[in-house]
């Protein structure tokens, strides 16, 4: 049996197993057509010459079943379900990324695992940007502005982050931005401002971020602030000892830097320059050419 026939045989057996074991929403006629190709190949002296017509089956078991299961199973399985590897053990970075992110967004949008957060929030702030982005920024949690608009980093800190991204030569649409926590931390009635998420809240929500990372597979990540670092790595080290250094989230290099809100509170050019030096390291890691103007940003000012 040639390799094409072997592939069809393996696919057919896998689909039969899924159909029997998990009751997916799969059209039986698809199985029948694959069976007919297998039969043709078996009776052909040159099976490799038979061309199987394309199947348009966008809503397959692998795309639908994880979403349905994730709504009923613990959040800890979400990252695994939305990042199924191929037969060689590699997670595929392909045209299905947008569809998989959409399915994950639907799951996260109805999450009730933290009842106090679900009751307090206006919207779930999932993430925004290019599903195929090479660069991903991770913050801590939505604030009041983000909670109302359903998009991360849209307040004053978000405006500063956008300027940083654009100075690097990117746009918000060409990178991906998300938070460890998808809901705004609840506040006492009548109080203003935002509170940092608790460790327990971040641990509960982290599988959603892991699933986003597995789908997007960025080449580089930037952790914005100490709480984002704590959510990603469980570290309680002060940010001043973490920033400017590379850390590894799986096989993805992560640059730790100050949160934009810190730069709003501390206007010293020396602190802004530290963040910019971190971003220069990110550009070098991405092998993006750095202009002289970018290299000298903040130097000689003030």
Q: How would you class 276 by CB atoms within 10 Å of its CB: exposed for 0-12, middle for 13-18, buried for 19 or more?
A: buried
21: phi then psi, degrees, rounded to nearest 5: -95, -30
| Count of C-beta atoms within a 10 Å radius of residue 235 | 15
Q: What share of the chain is helix, strand, coil (3-state, %, to 5)?
A: 50, 10, 40
Interval 254-263: pLDDT, tens: 999 999 999 9
The whole-number pLDDT of residue 66 equals: 28
Q: Does 223 have pLDDT greater than 90? A: yes
- What pLDDT is recorded for position 6? 54
pTM: 0.70
Neighbours of 136 (CB within 10 A): 26
Arithmetic mean of pLDDT, 209-217: 97
Read off the DSSP letter of residue 56: -
Question: Which domains, ranges and CATH numbers included, belong to the chain?
Answer: 60-295 (3.40.470.10)
For strands 176-179 and 252-257, give the pairing. unpaired
Assigned token pair, 18: 């899924």
């Amino acid at each position: 049996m040639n390799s094409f026939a072997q592939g069809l045989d393996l696919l057919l057996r896998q689909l039969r197993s899924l159909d029997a074991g998990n009751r997916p929403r799969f059209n039986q006629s698809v199985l029948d057509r694959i069976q007919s190709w297998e039969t043709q190949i078996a009776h052909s002296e040159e099976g490799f010459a038979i061309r199987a017509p394309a199947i348009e089956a966008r809503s397959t078991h692998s795309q639908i079943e994880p979403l349905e299961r994730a709504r009923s199973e613990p959040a800890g399985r979400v990252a695994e379900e939305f990042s199924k590897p191929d037969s060689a053990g590699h997670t595929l970075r392909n045209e299905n990324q947008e569809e998989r992110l959409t399915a994950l967004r639907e799951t996260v949008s109805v999450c009730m695992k933290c009842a106090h957060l679900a009751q307090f929030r206006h919207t779930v702030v999932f993430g925004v940007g290019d599903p195929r982005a090479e660069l991903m920024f991770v913050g801590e949690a939505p604030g009041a502005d983000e909670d109302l608009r359903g998009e991360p980093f849209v307040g004053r800190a978000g405006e500063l982050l956008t300027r940083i991204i654009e100075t690097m030569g990117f746009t918000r649409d060409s990178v991906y931005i998300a938070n460890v926590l998808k809901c705004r931390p609840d506040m006492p009635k009548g109080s203003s401002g935002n509170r940092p998420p608790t460790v327990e809240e971040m641990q509960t929500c982290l599988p959603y971020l892991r699933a986003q990372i597995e789908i997007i597979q960025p080449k580089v990540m930037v952790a914005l602030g100490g709480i984002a670092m704590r959510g990603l790595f469980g570290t309680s080290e002060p940010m001043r000892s973490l920033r400017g250094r590379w850390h590894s989230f799986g096989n993805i290099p992560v640059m730790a830097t100050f949160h934009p809100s810190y730069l709003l509170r501390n206007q010293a050019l020396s602190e802004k320059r530290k963040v910019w030096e971190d971003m220069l390291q990110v550009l070098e890691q991405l092998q993006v050419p750095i202009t002289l103007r970018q290299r000298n940003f903040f130097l000689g000012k003030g």
